[in-house]
Amino acid sequence: MSLRRQDLNLLPILRELIRAQSVSRAAESIHLSQSATSGALARLRDVFNDELLVMDGRNMIATPFAKSIQQRVEEACAAIETLYEPLSFDPKSEPRQFNVATTDYVAYMLAGRVAKRILNECYSVSVRFHPISRAVEQHLLHGDIDIAIMSDKGAEHTGSTLHGSRLFEDERVVIASAINPPFKGALTLEAYLNAPHANFELHQFDSLSMSQIWPELERPVRQVVSVPHFTALPETVANSGCLALIQKRLAAQMATAGLVTIHPAPFEAPAVEIYAYRSPLRSQDRSLDWVTDLLADISAHLPDV
């Protein structure tokens, strides 16, 4: 099929139609009228000799053929967009906003340092941190976010197959209430297993707890409460008498208020390895190379605890 005979303007419309599985949502995303988007869908149906989107009750769904070509459509659009990307990136002259999805723990460790570097170097860029979800790979591939920062095990359990670059690692320790700890003396494995626990969950409606990601213990502990933010765990522990297994750097920061104490985990607790992930469809984006290097450099200079 000759490329000269094809209307390449239909490609981004096709991409949004398959993503959204809705004419109205696709139209809103690409800033076209609904009638224009419907007309484009009709033309695409003729080109591919397939309905592409069909009604399923009150909603539209992609046909098996549409699903089968989605990855190729994403890659084709990304390749065309790459042609218009500059061969270099100057952060001091280009007011680019980078969207980074991560947990509050990583944002807590990096956001202030990122802001300081931007201001000290007089960069024109900005970085917006977003909550992370199990759909992180889809958000990366669709360009909704530029970088996802999470642990390698977290990426594995969200189903991500993306390649990441390592930023830093953090030990894991146990925190207990400084006033009302659920054990006396040194924290033993038996005391740990018998104590009540507070836990972090990745997403309220699609639970992914740390006990799922790091199931070192054969015997499950009693989870009394789960919170959606790592930074909520110290206050939760201080007020409840629960224990929590968290990252050492975060624990050290939170322990300065005197509300919690820090203890070595009484079992083998592998360090948390934090990686930056990006879409392979944007491998030629020099601005993403720059921000990834920025995050790596800042991570390399995090203080030891």
Q: Is residue 88 part of a domain?
A: no
In terms of pLDDT, which residue wins out, 152 or 209? Answer: 152
**Residue 207: per-residue pLDDT:** 46
Cβ atoms of 276 and 165 within 8 Å: the answer is yes
Output the six-digit token pair for 55: 């009604």
Do 230 and 264 belong to one domain?
Answer: yes
**pLDDT tens-digit map of 142-192:** 888 999 999 887 777 666 677 789 999 999 999 999 998 999 989 999 999
What CATH number has the domain bearing residue 255?
3.40.190.10
Do 146 and 277 belong to one domain?
Answer: yes
Q: Is residue 177 part of a domain?
A: yes
Look-up: residue for tokens 């941190």?
129
Q: Is residue 89 part of a domain?
A: no
Q: Is residue 265 part of a domain?
A: yes
Do 72 and 32 belong to one domain?
Answer: yes
pTM to 2 decimal places: 0.77
pLDDT at 5 > cutoff 90: no
What CATH number has the domain bearing residue 23?
1.10.10.10
Give the model's confidence band at 219: pLDDT under 50 very low, under 70 low, under 90 confident, else very high: low
* Nearest in space to 91 (alpha carbons), one of 297, 278, 280: 297
Do 128 and 277 belong to one domain?
Answer: yes
d(Cα 249, Cα 253) in Å, to the nearest integer?
A: 6
Q: What is the 3-state secondary structure (H, E, C) of 8-40?
A: CCHHHHHHHHHHHCCHHHHHHHHCCCHHHHHHH
**Residue 158: per-residue pLDDT:** 64
Q: What is the DSSP string of 182-224?
A: SS-SS--HHHHHHSEEEEEBS-TTS--BHHHH----SSPPEEE
pLDDT at 55 > cutoff 60: yes
* Nearest in space to 68 (alpha carbons), one of 21, 18, 23, 3: 18
Give the model's confidence band at 206: pLDDT under 50 very low, under 70 low, under 90 confident, else very high: very low
Do 195 and 57 belong to one domain?
Answer: no
Q: Is residue 222 part of a domain?
A: yes
Give the model's confidence band at 205: pLDDT under 50 very low, under 70 low, under 90 confident, else very high: very low
Do 37 and 101 belong to one domain?
Answer: no
Number of domains in the chain: 3
Do 177 and 248 belong to one domain?
Answer: yes
pLDDT at 92 > cutoff 60: yes
**Residue 191: per-residue pLDDT:** 93
Do 277 and 164 belong to one domain?
Answer: yes
pLDDT at 85 > cutoff 80: no
Do 187 and 265 belong to one domain?
Answer: yes
Domain holding 222, by residue range, is 172-269
In terms of pLDDT, which residue wins out, 157 or 206? Answer: 157
Do 243 and 116 belong to one domain?
Answer: no
Region 242-259: mean pLDDT is 90
The gap between the terminal CA atoms of the chain, to the nearest Å, is 61
Do 179 and 159 belong to one domain?
Answer: no
Q: Is residue 230 part of a domain?
A: yes
Domain stop point among 83, 111, 144: 83
Do 185 and 251 belong to one domain?
Answer: yes
Region 260-287: mean pLDDT is 88
